[in-house]
Amino acid sequence: MTEQQQVSDDGVMTRIGQTLMLLHGGDREEARNRFGLLWQQIGPDGDPLHRCTLAHYMADTQDDPETELAWDLRALSAAEDLTDERLAAHDASAAVRALYPSLHLNLAADYVGLHRPDAARAHLDLAR
């Protein structure tokens, strides 16, 4: 990875973090809009770390349970493309396997909200 690429990557994660602060501050609509713009820039085939992180948080901005589920599924799919080496470039102490419990718990909660208990239990088991 070139220095230019690394600075660009850090910039995307910084923008995701800034948008997350909006979400945590209670401005879900603005966070959803900014995450949406970032997703357009990253694209469905972009950096798996960016896709996983953004989709994970974008799910939390959704009002519709089906849309929230779709974003959580995107996050899980991106995690499957993510390598420990790529994650370590962002956070040297992190490992991809450490992301899966949270991703599966989010999916379990989505399925509970959609009255799909079997799917919820399956993801809860995977989270364990």
Question: What pLDDT, in 10s, does the model give residues 40-64?
Answer: 999 989 999 999 999 999 999 999 9
The amino acid that residue 53 corresponds to is T
Closest CA to 65 of 110, 121, 120: 110
| Distance (Å) of CA 61 to CA 4, 58, 64, 88, 89 | 31, 5, 9, 27, 27
Is this prediction's pTM over 0.75?
yes
pLDDT above 50 for 7: no
**Least trusted range by pLDDT, from 1-5, 29-33, 51-55, 112-116:** 1-5
DSSP 8-state class, residue 89: H
* DSSP characters over 94-122: --GGGTHHHHHHHHHHHHHHTT-HHHHHH
pLDDT above 70 for 128: yes
> Distance between CA atoms of 99 and 70, rounded to whole angstroms?
18
What residues have CB less than 8 Å from 73, skipping those under 6 apart?
A: 107
All structural domains of the chain with their residue ranges: 3-127
CATH topology of domain 3-127: 1.25.40
